[in-house]
Amino acid sequence: MQKQQIPLKNSLILLLAAIIWGIAFVAQSVGMDYVGGFTFNAVRSLIGSAVLVPLILVLGQKNSGSVSSHSTTSGQQSRKDLIIGGISCGICLCLASNFQQFGIKYTTVGKAGFITACYIVIVPVIGLFLGKKCSKFIWAAVVMSLVGLYLLCITDGFSVGKGDLLVLVCAFLFSVHILVIDHFSPKVDGVKLSCIQFLTCGILSGIPALLFEHPELSSILAAWQPILYAGVMSCGVAYTLQIIGQKNMNPTVASLILSLESCISVLAGWILLGQQLSTKEILGCVIMFAAIILAQLPQKQKE
């Protein structure tokens, strides 16, 4: 009975992550007015890592009394999985977020959002090669989500340019990121995995930032509000929620829920900034939400 309740709880956790990311689009666009893409990603990732350290220390003290001597071998294996998983997730996140950041420079935000969210198709396709099968319900939900995203994001026709190709690479990398998390999250502590992920992403983004962008402290301080939101909420909170929420969950269903960030960003612009929604955009949101509900419907298990 308890096993059936886990997906709903995980779905709500992933939905909360999507809401935080949707609102973070505002912070990202404002932050880029002050600093370069590598600098923005480096600083926010390092902040995200630092925010999680106190939480890890508190949780470590709570659990320290319950460790038995016979779990030493499994503990060493878990530590190895944690380090490998954290670095792997960090590399994927660094590449994906920076490809996205520079792709947006050469394309519209709407097209970038649509192409990025194409990971909802890429994840199940890659999953097929890894032996992860999806039901007809979930494939139908994937197609519905694509239609909804198109109506939501593409307002000025569709053509493929340099920026679109960069963002398409980003969508593939985010797909790999989701599948890497799917592999490691059941094996290790989610908060520690997230902390190592951000530390890796921050260091890797910091190297080209120092080489090519020469960041100044005054510029970073001028963008302290968007960087702080992106670091604490988008990185520290939302990506950690993603790791926790994806535990024991179908990665395709997880990617469908996370793709709602496109919907949330449009709705946040409407509620917070007073931006108008067209009938086409409202229809896109409705179709996407319907797709998520379809993916959550209980299905008969074959023996």
Output the 3-class SS for 154-221: CCCCCCCCHHHHHHHHHHHHHHHHHHHHHHHCCCCCHHHHHHHHHHHHHHHHHHHHHHHHCCCHHHHH
Q: Is residue 292 within a helix (H) or strand (E), and if so which, with residue range?
A: helix 279-296
Report which of residues 48 and 106 the model is more confident about: 48
Could you tell me the two tokens for 125? 């396709």
How far is residue 125's CA from residue 142's CA, in Å, rounded to a whole number? 11
Confidence of residue 74 (pLDDT cuts 50, 70, 90): low
Is residue 45 within 8 A of residue 225, CB to CB? The reply is no
How far is residue 164's CA from residue 228's CA, in Å, rounded to a whole number? 28
Confidence of residue 78 (pLDDT cuts 50, 70, 90): confident
Picking from 152-161, 219-228, 255-264, which range would have the lowest pLDDT averaged per residue?
Answer: 152-161
pLDDT in tens, 96-125: 999 987 887 777 666 777 777 778 888 888
pLDDT for position 303: 38
Confidence of residue 40 (pLDDT cuts 50, 70, 90): very high
